[in-house]
Amino acid sequence: MPNMSLKKNEMPAQAPDVRNKNFKEVALGYTAETAVDEAKRCLNCKHKPCVGGCPVKIHIPDFIAKVAEGKFEEAYQIIQKSSSLPAVCGRVCPQETQCEQKCVRGVKGEPVAIGRLERFVADWHNEHSCDLPVKAQPNGHKVAVVGSGPAGLTCAGDLAKRGYDVTVFEALHLAGGVLVYGIPEFRLPKAIVQKEIDNLNALGVKVETNMVIGKVLSVDELMDEFAFEAVFIGSGAGLPRFMNIPGENLKDVYSANEFLTRVNLMKAYKEDARTPIAHAKKVAVVGGGNVAMDAARCAKRLGAEEVTIVYRRSEAELPARREEVEHAKEEGISFKLLTNPVRILEGENGFVGGMECVEMELGEPDASGRRSPVVKENSEFTMDVDCVIMAIGTSPNPLIKSTTKGLETQRWGGIIADENGQTSREGVFAGGDAVTGAATVILAMGAGKTAAEAIDEYIKNKK
Amino acid sequence: MYKIIRKKELNPTVTLMEVEAPFVARKAEPGQFIILRVDEEGERIPLTIADYNREKGTITIIFQIVGGTTERLNRLGEGDCIQDFVGPLGTASHVEGLKKVAVIGGGVGCAIAYPVAKKLHELGAVVHSIVGFRNRDLVILEKEFRSVSDVYKMMTDDGSYGEKGLVTDALKALIESGEQYDEVIAIGPVVMMKFVSLLTKQYDIKTVVSMNPIMIDGTGMCGGCRLTVGGKTKFACVDGPDFDGHEVDFDEMMKRATVYKEFELHEREKACNLFSKEVK
C-alpha cells in the first residue's frame, strides 16, 4: 500500500539557536521507521524519470523498493553499484535540481525524499554492516588519480571495481578534497568522509597523501617512470580569487578557502586546536554561493555576534542552494544584498577596522540574460566589521598545467577535455572542477565516473 | 610517517634534523621549502630546505624554537617520526649565470642562505658572505658557510664575536670599498631584509629576499601567505618565496606576521607546560 502523503517525512534537525553554537551535524537523519514510511511514497514508475536526473544514474526506484521492505543492506548494494560516496551525496547533492526535480510525486505535492533515503541507507550500512566490499579480480593495469576530491575518489572507486590497480595522489595530509577542507563538519561530518574513503581502501584503492603532483612528481613521471598506463586529473579549482581592493591584505581578511581550511581541515574551532583562527565579533562574508554560506555559518559558530553576507546582486540571484540560504537565515546570519565592497579600512594594529561599500542596482539584462549590477551614485557607506571573508569564487590551480607538456587549457585555466574526460594528452583524462571551474560535488562525481569508463575503454583498446 | 635519522642542536635555540623523505629529496633545490605537521593534532608549518641528499633520500631542516609547534618538534629525537612532511614547495632560487654575489644571512636565516651560497659556489660564482647574529652563542654553520665563501664576514650585535654591528654595516663597507655585485641575496628576519634592500637600492644593486609569511597549505589554495610585490598581490608559497627586495612591501608583511601573536604565546606556554609536566 503506497503512502500517498503529499509531503516528505520531515528530517529531524538541531534547533537553529542550539546548532549555531556547535559544529555537530545540523540534520539528524531518518529513523528506520520514517525511512520505510517515506520509501512507500515511491510509485516505482516504469519510466523512472528520477534516474535521468541523477548524474551517476543510481537505480533509484530499485533501492527505494528495498528500503520499503526494510532490506537496508540490499538497498545499499544497489546504490553502491552506481555511487562510490552515497553518505556524502545524500547530504550535499542539490537534489531539488536533480533526481527529486524529476520525481513524478513532485508534480502534485513534494517529491520523494530520495537524498534523505540515500543518506539513511548509507549511514545504516556504515553503522551495521561489517562485510568488507568484495575486491575485483585484478586485471594487471595501473592507473593514477591526481586529487582525492569527489571526482578523483569516484573515478578511483569505479576503476577499482573493474579490477584496476589504482593509486590516488593527494597534496594535503588528508584525503577528501573539498569534502574535508571546504564543506563544514555540521553539513558533512568528517568521520563519514573517512568511512567512505575506508570503503574505497577496502576495494583496493591506495591513497598517497602529501604528494603534490606537479612538484613532487610530474604527470610525465607518473606515466614514464612509475608505469601508470593512464592518469586522471581531478585536482579541482582551489585557487582563490580576491577583489583587488585596498585593504585586502589587512589582518583578519581571509579567502574563504583559508578560513574554511583552518576551521574544517585543521579543526581550528576546537578548544585545544593548534591552528589559530580569528574569533571576530562582526564578520562580513563577501559572495553569495554555498561557500559564502558555509563560511558565514562557521564564523557564527566561532562566536561572532553579527555575521553578514554581502552580495552585489539581489536575493533571487544568490547562487547558493535555497536550503543553505534558509539555514543561514535561521541561524541568525544577516544579508546585505545589492551591496559591493570598495575598500577595507584599517583599524588598530593593522587589523580590519571596517568596510566601505557601495549600493548596487540591477541594470538591463545583458547578452546572457543576466542583469548585471551597477553602482548607485553617492551611495557609499561604511560597515562596522572586524573580519572579512572573501568568498567570490576560485579557479583551477595552474600547477599541473604548467608542469605537464602538451596539456591544453582554457584561458581561465580549466583543462580542456571532451565529454569522456579525454584531454589533449594521450592517456591523460580529467574531470570535475579542474575542467569546469567551481561546480558541485555530484557533477564532479559524474565526471569521475564517465572518465573511469573512458579509461577502461582506452586501456582495453590499447593493445 | 617521516623518520628523523639525525638530530643536532646547533645552538640553545636552533636545531638541525635530517629527515627521511625520498620523494622530497629527489627534486629539492635551494630556496624551496617543505611543510610539516609534527603529529595528528599538529598545525602545518613551513620550513626552508637547508640541505638535501638525493642518494640517501634525506632532507635537512634547521629550525629555531619559537613557539608551540617548534617546541614539540624539538622534543622528537633520532628514530622518531614526523607525521607529515610535504615538498619540495615554492620556486627554487635563480642562481644560474651569476658571477659575483653577496649572500647575507641573519640568525637562523643562515640555514637557508647557506645552501644558496653553496650552490653558487658550486656553479663557480664568487661568493661574499655576510652573516649576523645577536651574540656569539647563537652562531650556526660557520664552518660550512666559510667553506663556500670567498669572503666571510661575521657580525654580532654585541661584538662578542666577529665585528660589532649589523650586516648592513658590513655590506655597505664592502660596496664602498669598490666591490661590485651582480646581485645581493638576503635571508633572515624581515626587518633585516628590509634594511638590506633599502641600502642596495641606493647603489642600484639587484636584491633578492626570501619571504617567510604565515602559510597553511603551501600549494596556492588559500592565499594566507599573500604579500604585495611591485603593487601586486603574490602568493609566497607558489610565486616565491624569493622576491625582488626593491619591490616587496615589507611593512605590510611585518604587520601580517603578527596576526596570531596572542594565540602563539599561549600555545608556546601550553607546549612548555606540557613538557615540564612530563619530566616530573
Same domain, B77 and B129: no
Cα–Cα separations (whole angstroms), residue A30 to A118, A394, B22:
10, 35, 48
Same domain, B148 and B236: yes
Question: Of B87, B238, B256, which has the smallest distance from its Cβ to A251's Cβ?
Answer: B256
- Asked whether the predicted pLDDT for residue B49 surpasses 70, the reply is yes
> Which positions in chain B touch A210 (Cβ < 8 Å)?
84-86
Same domain, B172 and B237: yes
Q: What are φ and ψ of residue B238, in 5° steps?
A: -115, -40
Same domain, B246 and B126: yes
Same domain, B25 and B116: no
- Residue A69 structural domain: 16-128
Same domain, A120 and A58: yes
- Asked whether the predicted pLDDT for residue B279 surpasses 60, the reply is no
| Nearest CA distance, A250 vs chain B (angstrom) | 7
- Residue B150 structural domain: 100-257
Same domain, A200 and A110: no
> Which positions in chain B touch A399 (Cβ < 8 Å)?
219-220, 238
Write down the pLDDT at residue B277: 61
The percentage of residues in chain B with a pLDDT greater than 90, rounded to a whole number, is 91
- Residue B279 inside a domain? The answer is no
Give the end-to-end CA distance of chain B in Å, rounded to a whole number. Answer: 29
Domain finish residue from A70, A102, A128 = A128
| Nearest CA distance, A350 vs chain B (angstrom) | 6
Write down the pLDDT at residue B278: 57
- Residue A134 inside a domain? The answer is no
Instruction: Provide the CATH number for the domain around residue B186.
Output: 3.40.50.80
Same domain, A371 and A441: no
Which residue, A247, A210, A211, is CA-closest to A226? A211
Angle of helix A72-82 relative to helix A114-128, nearest 10 degrees, comes to 110
Same domain, B83 and B106: no
- Residue B193 inside a domain? The answer is yes
In eight-state DSSP terms, residue A383 is: E
Residue B63 assigned to a binding site: yes
- Asked whether the predicted pLDDT for residue B280 surpasses 80, the reply is no
Cell numbers that stand for A264 in this block = 574544517
Cβ atoms A278, A254 nearer than 8 A: yes
| Nearest CA distance, A300 vs chain B (angstrom) | 20
Distance, in Å, from the CA atom of A238 to the CA atom of B65, rounded to the nearest integer, reads 32
Same domain, A243 and A382: yes
Answer whether B216 sits within 8 Å of A238, measured CB to CB. no
- Residue A7 inside a domain? The answer is no
Domain finish residue from A101, A128, A155 = A128
Average per-residue pLDDT in chain B?
Answer: 94
Same domain, B68 and B159: no
Interface predicted TM-score (ipTM): 0.93
| Residue B224, amino acid | G
Query: What is the value of pTM for the model shown?
Result: 0.94
Distance, in Å, from the CA atom of B117 to the CA atom of B101, rounded to the nearest integer, reads 9
Residue B81 assigned to a binding site: no
Helix (H) or strand (E) holding A146: strand A142-146
- Residue A137 inside a domain? The answer is no
Same domain, A401 and A385: no
Q: What are φ and ψ of residue A339, in 5° steps?
A: -140, 140
> Which positions in chain A touch B255 (Cβ < 8 Å)?
251, 349-350
Residue B110 assigned to a binding site: no
Same domain, A365 and A455: no
- Residue A223 inside a domain? The answer is yes
Same domain, B117 and B196: yes
Residue B62 assigned to a binding site: yes
- Residue B36 inside a domain? The answer is yes
Question: Of A171, A251, A351, which has the smallest distance from its Cβ to B219's Cβ?
Answer: A171
Angle of helix A60-68 relative to helix A32-39, nearest 10 degrees, comes to 130
Same domain, A231 and A256: no
Q: What is the pLDDT of residues B160-182, one digit of tens each?
A: 999 999 999 999 999 999 999 99
- Residue B127 inside a domain? The answer is yes
- Residue B262 inside a domain? The answer is no
Cα–Cα separations (whole angstroms), residue B58 to A212, B5, B21, B26:
18, 9, 5, 9
| Nearest CA distance, B30 vs chain A (angstrom) | 14
Same domain, B113 and B252: yes
pLDDT in tens, chain A (463 residues): 688 888 999 999 999 999 999 999 999 999 999 999 999 999 999 999 999 999 889 999 999 999 999 999 999 999 988 888 899 999 988 898 899 999 999 999 999 999 999 999 999 998 898 777 778 899 999 999 999 999 999 999 999 999 999 999 999 999 999 999 999 999 999 999 998 899 899 999 999 999 999 999 999 999 999 999 999 999 999 999 999 999 999 999 999 999 999 999 999 999 889 999 999 999 999 999 999 999 999 999 999 999 999 999 999 999 998 889 999 999 999 999 999 999 999 999 999 999 999 999 998 887 777 788 999 999 999 999 999 999 999 999 888 888 898 999 999 899 999 999 999 999 999 999 999 998 888 889 999 999 999 999 999 998 6
- Residue A110 inside a domain? The answer is yes
Instruction: Provide the CATH number for the domain around residue B69.
Output: 2.40.30.10
Say whether A229 sits in a helix, a strand or coil: coil
| Nearest CA distance, B229 vs chain A (angstrom) | 12
Structural domain tally of chain B? 2
Burial B3-40 (b: 16+ CB within 10 A, else e): ebeebeebbebbbbbbbbbebbbebbbbbbbbbbbbee
Structural domain tally of chain A? 3
Question: Of B83, B233, B252, which has the smallest distance from its Cβ to A242's Cβ?
Answer: B233
In eight-state DSSP terms, residue A102 is: G
Count CA within 13 A, CB hemisphere, residue A43.
15
Cβ count near B55 (within 10 Å): 6
Cell numbers that stand for B118 in this block = 653553496
Distance, in Å, from the CA atom of B35 to the CA atom of A454, rounded to the nearest integer, reads 36
- Residue B278 inside a domain? The answer is no
Distance, in Å, from the CA atom of B154 to the CA atom of B167, rounded to the nearest integer, reads 8
DSSP string, chain B: -EEEEEEEEEETTEEEEEEE-HHHHHH--TT-EEEEESSTTPPPEEEEEEEEETTTTEEEEEEE--SHHHHHHHH--TT-EESEEEEEESPPP--TT--EEEEEEEGGGHHHHHHHHHHHHHTT-EEEEEEEESSGGG--SHHHHHHT-SEEEEEETTSSSSEES-HHHHHHHHHHTT---SEEEEES-HHHHHHHHHHHHHHT--EEEE-----SSSSSSS-TTEEEETTEEEEHHHH-SEEETTTB-HHHHHHHTTTTHHHHHHHHHHHHHHHHHHH-
Same domain, A307 and A434: no
Distance, in Å, from the CA atom of A207 to the CA atom of A209, rounded to the nearest integer, reads 6
Residue B272 assigned to a binding site: no
Same domain, B242 and B108: yes
Same domain, A172 and A200: yes
Write down the pLDDT at residue A368: 75
Which residue, B217, B221, B212, B196, is CA-closest to B257? B212
Instruction: Provide the CATH number for the domain around residue A69.
Output: 1.10.1060.10
**A304 contacts: CB under 8 Å, gap ≥ 6:** A279, A280, A281, A282, A283, A387
Burial class, A411, CB count within 10 angstroms (exposed 0-12 / middle 13-18 / buried 19+):
exposed
- Residue B148 inside a domain? The answer is yes
Instruction: Provide the CATH number for the domain around residue A451.
Output: 3.50.50.60
Answer whether B227 sits within 8 Å of A217, measured CB to CB. no
Residues 227-266 of B with CB under 8 A from A: 227-228, 233, 238, 252, 255-256, 258-260, 263-264
In eight-state DSSP terms, residue A45 is: -
Which residue, A187, A179, A122, is CA-closest to A147? A179
- Residue A341 inside a domain? The answer is yes
Cβ atoms A284, A206 nearer than 8 A: no
Domain finish residue from A84, A104, A128 = A128
Write down the pLDDT at residue A84: 81
Same domain, A330 and A243: yes
- Residue A11 inside a domain? The answer is no
Bond preceding residue B241 cis, omega within 30 of 0: yes
Answer whether B24 sits within 8 Å of A216, measured CB to CB. yes
- Residue B276 inside a domain? The answer is no
Same domain, A72 and A204: no
- Residue A449 inside a domain? The answer is yes
Within its chain, how far is the Cα of A440 from the centroid?
Answer: 5
Answer whether A274 sits within 8 Å of B83, measured CB to CB. no
Same domain, B250 and B203: yes
Same domain, A261 and A352: yes
Q: What is the pLDDT of residues B110-163, one digit of tens each?
A: 998 999 999 999 999 999 999 999 999 999 999 999 999 999 999 999 999 999
Cβ atoms A211, A222 nearer than 8 A: no
Distance, in Å, from the CA atom of B70 to the CA atom of B136, rounded to the nearest integer, reads 22
Same domain, B122 and B251: yes
